[in-house]
């Protein structure tokens, strides 16, 4: 399974800079926008639906673990 280094606190510029520096290691990219009205739009993706679902699950797991750790007073 993939490792998520940081989900919050990383700026888009840092993500793109890291991506450019390590472009040969990138397998897939997905970008989306969450609008204030609650809709989500996808701007671009080179990911099939199964890989996209995996990416979403990995991010959800990271958020869940961080939230549980925060509730327990543990630094994630």
Residue 1: predicted pLDDT: 47
Predicted TM-score of the model (pTM): 0.56
CA-to-CA distance for 70 and 2, rounded, in angstroms? 22
Question: Averaged in consecutive runs of 10 residues, what is the pLDDT profile of the chain (76 residues)?
Answer: 61 79 85 87 84 87 82 71
Closest by Cα among 43, 58, 70, 76 to 3: 58
Residue 2: predicted pLDDT: 53
Domain ranges of the chain: 12-71
């Amino acid at each position: 399974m993939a490792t998520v280094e940081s989900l919050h606190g990383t700026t888009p510029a840092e993500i793109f800079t890291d991506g450019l520096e390590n472009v040969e290691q990138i397998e897939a990219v997905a970008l989306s926008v969450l609008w204030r009205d609650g809709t989500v739009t996808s701007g671009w993706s080179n990911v099939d639906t199964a890989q996209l679902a995996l990416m979403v699950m990995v991010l959800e797991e990271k958020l869940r673990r961080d939230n549980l750790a925060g509730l327990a007073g543990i630094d994630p």
